[in-house]
Structure 1
Amino acid sequence: MTRTTVETEIIAKAIHLACRAPSLHNSQPWRWVLGHAAVDLFADHERVVRSADRSGREAIISCGAALDHLRMAMAAAGWRTNVDPFPNPSERDHLASVDFTPAHYVTSAERDRADAILSRRTDRLPLQAPSQWESFEPVLRRTLDHSKATLDVVADDARPSLAEASRLTESIRRYDENYRDELHWWTRRFSLYQGVPPSALVSERERARVGIGREFPTTQHGRRRSDIAADHAKVLVLSTHEDTRADALNCGEALSTVLVECTTAGLATCTLTHITEIAEGRAVIQNLTGSSAFPQVLIRVGTAPALDEAPSLTPRRPMSEVLQIRR
């Protein structure tokens, strides 16, 4: 297929949206190189959160989400993306090479998805049950490429077991000083464009009502959403057949799809990975879902109170740090 050169400004705007993808501790472990007719995506191994993500699996998941965000952004701009994954076997950090062909038209759904990228937030507070879930779940499943990842929904009555797995995960790491130091480093107050800002963290009481969140350093927030006594979000599990780098990249693309589709439906989301970082946690998830597939990511999906003020966007690295133009 003949490659088509797209204006630099169009691709730069799409990469700007792609970098709104979620990443572990907002570490943003990606690097983009724009050539004459293609964009290359690299994992930035210097930004891997080593103690939580020893294999670099979650960094690749984050890059997969950014790759799918790029696809959505380019679709809204009138371009179809063609992805060549892992094009250079001798360079492990080279995750994908992407080129583009003109689209015949742009649908309203494609525009809505691109708009939703900027609307999505990670909501760590308790959530109400997702509205009209019974009718939305089949729609969500149809949007997924099931060759990339499978989707399971944890039964509501299994929530206590999931909370116990979360506590087990944290207890195993209680005396891991490197892990704790990393948590504090990525949530420090003086960071300008990376890490988790204080406004996105929760107090001890707020976290206790959710029950399955990562134990970040707590904040001095009061009892926000005090009318929600316990979290009623649905918990989704994205799994892959194996645990290869290709599986992680595929899972990241599926994660992007789920988050954006939920956002367009007016639902709040929170991505969770701490339980899947250890074998014991993954075993609990497999038992709850009845699947032998490799659990990669959990996602809380619910409804935030209508009168809640939308939190500010979390910071992102400047484009000068993540995009290199070689035209």
Structure 2
Amino acid sequence: MTATLVDSEVLADAVALACRAPSLHNSQPWRFVTDGVELQLFLDPGRIVHSADRRKRQALISCGAVLDHLTVAMAAAGWASVVDRFPDPGDPEHLATVTFAPMRTTPAHRRRADAILTRRTDRLPMAAPLDWEPLAAMLYAAVDDAVAHLDVLDDDARAELAQASALTETLRMYDSSYHAELYWWTRAYNPVAGIPPSALLSAAETDRVDVARAFPVTDYRQRRPEIAEDQSKIVVLSTDADTRENALRCGEMLSRVLLECTLAGLATCTVTHVTELSATRAVIDTLTSRDTWPQALIRVGVAPTADSELPPTPRRPVRAALTFR
């Protein structure tokens, strides 16, 4: 496929849509550079959450998600993407080079791009998804097993998973740098990044979600009071190794799963705190019975009422994430 010059507005619109991808604490650890023919994706070291992500693994997962979102956005605009990952061995921050060629766009491509705009990280308690078996089959089909593995944890494993979630917080109780960064990314006055109060939970709501990072609580009223406890399904994404490429590619699979769930009308919440420490990461590996490297968990469920729709979290303007040469 011959690479073709793409209009700058098309690229800017696609990058803006891609940057709706999820990232740790909404840190958005990516930057793009383009000459109109090639679009380069770089890791942005100035946007790393150091205390929770010392190896930059979660930043790479986030960049994988933005990369997959980009290919979805470009497909909806009529452009097929060819991705060359880690094209420069001398530059570890250069994650991918993407080139484009015209393609025929279908309604399915446009629906998938629309799902990027409607997806939210929903930290509230969820109702159980209906007709789970066909939905699970759809998620298994969305993930390339040569890249990452998808497992749905049995409901019987929920108690042990909740204990691992609580253990993570216990082990970090006196980690002042972790808590300082957590509060920095959840401060109310960050207009272009971080997690706003509307995306956080009250103390009472937090008590009803057993597998979640302990964020600062808000004074919101009780939302979804009809759900006494979280009934979401827990999906695990893992890889055969724990390299930088594994993390990036797993992020691409994470994007696929989140968009498939959104298209199916399901709420999702990516959970990574239990994969940040070796002790709790090992628990997840035991629960999947795979002997692999757990990279991310996803809560999948139903947001039962219309007034539970969450506002979008902020993003940097596209000019801050994209540079034209």
Question: How would you bin the TM-score normalised by the shorter chain?
Answer: over 0.9
Alignment of 1:27-176 (within 5 A): 27-103=27-103, 105-176=104-175
> How do residues 236-255 of structure 1 correspond to structure 2 at under 5 angstroms?
236-255=235-254
Structure-1 separation of matches of 2:193 and 2:270: 17
Query: CA offset at residue 306 of structure 1?
Result: 3.2
CA distance in 2, matches of 1:169, 1:300: 17
1:15 pairs with 2:15: yes
Matched, 1:285 2:276: no
Give the Å deviation of 1:242: 0.6
Deviation at 1:109?
1.5
Aligned equivalents of 1:188, 1:284: Cα separation in 2? 32
TM-score scaled by structure 1? 0.98
Q: 1:295 aligns to what?
A: 294
* Structure 1 SS opposite 2:236: strand
**Aligned-partner Cα distance in 2 for 1:285–1:310:** 30
- 1:181 has 2:180 as partner: yes
Answer whether contact 2:19 2:66 (CA < 8 A) is retained.
Answer: yes
Question: Partner of 1:206 in structure 2?
Answer: 205
Greater CA deviation, 284-293 or 140-149?
140-149
Instruction: Supply the distance in 2 between the matched residues of 1:72 and 1:203 (Cα, whole angstroms).
Output: 35
Whole-angstrom distance in 2 between the partners of 1:131 and 1:17: 30
| Aligned twin of 2:264 | 265
Q: What residue identity is the alignment partner of 1:42?
A: F
Identity of aligned residues (%): 56
Deviation at residue 141 of structure 1 after TM alignment: 1.3
What do residues 46-91 of structure 1 show as CA deviations (whole Å, max 9, x unaligned)?
A: 1100000000000010000000000001111111100000000110
In the alignment, the residues of structure 2 paired with residue 139 and residue 170 of structure 1 have an alpha-carbon distance, to the nearest angstrom, of: 33
CA distance in 1, matches of 2:275, 2:124: 21
Distance 2:307 2:297 in 1: 24
AA in 1 matched with 2:28: Q
SS in 2 for 1:299: strand
Tell me by how many angstroms 1:235 deviates.
0.3
1:190-248, Cα deviation, whole Å (9 max, x unpaired): 11111000000001221121111100101111221111001110000000111100000
Deviation at 1:296, TM superposition (A): 0.2
What is the CA distance between 1:12 and its match in structure 2?
0.9
- C-alpha distance in structure 2 between counterparts of 1:131 and 1:11, whole Å: 38
Matched residues in 1 for 2:141 and 2:106: separation?
17
Q: Secondary structure, in 3 states, of the residue corresponding to 2:211?
A: coil
Question: Bigger CA drift: 137-146 or 47-56?
Answer: 137-146
Quote the offset at 1:307 in angstroms: 2.6
Task: Give yes or no for contact 2:123–2:269 (8 Å, CA) kept in 1.
Answer: yes
Over aligned residue pairs, what C-alpha RMSD do you find? 0.9
Tell me the secondary structure at the aligned position of residue 306 of structure 2: coil
Say if 2:21 and 2:66, in contact at 8 Å, map to a contact too.
yes
1:229-240 paired onto structure 2 within 5 Å: 229-240=228-239
Give distance in 1, aligned partners of 2:217 and 2:305: 25
For residues 36 and 243 of structure 1, the distance between their equivalents in structure 2, rounded to whole angstroms, comes to 33
Structure 1 residue 135 displacement after superposition:
1.2
Matches of 1:233 and 1:266 in 2, distance apart? 14
TM superposition shift of 1:189: 1.1
Unaligned 5+ residue runs, structure 1?
none
Corresponding residue SS for 1:170:
helix
Partner SS state of residue 324, structure 1: strand
Matched position secondary structure for 2:208 = helix
Alpha-carbon separation, structure 2, partners of 1:261 and 1:128: 18
Residue 208 of structure 2 contacts residue 230 of structure 2 at CA under 8 Å; is this kept in 1? yes
Inter-partner Cα distance in structure 2 for 1:312 and 1:286: 34
Aligned counterparts of 1:46 and 1:246: Cα–Cα separation in 2: 20
Corresponding residue SS for 2:84: strand
Flag as ranges the 4+ runs of structure 1 deviating above 3 A.
none
TM-score, length basis structure 2:
0.98
Separation in 1 of the partners of 2:138 and 2:212? 27
Spell out, residue by residue over 1:20-46, the C-alpha distance to the aligned partner (whole angstroms, 9 max, x if none): 000000000000001131100000011
Secondary structure of the corresponding residue to residue 190 of structure 2: coil
Mapped partners of 1:36, 1:282: distance in 2? 41
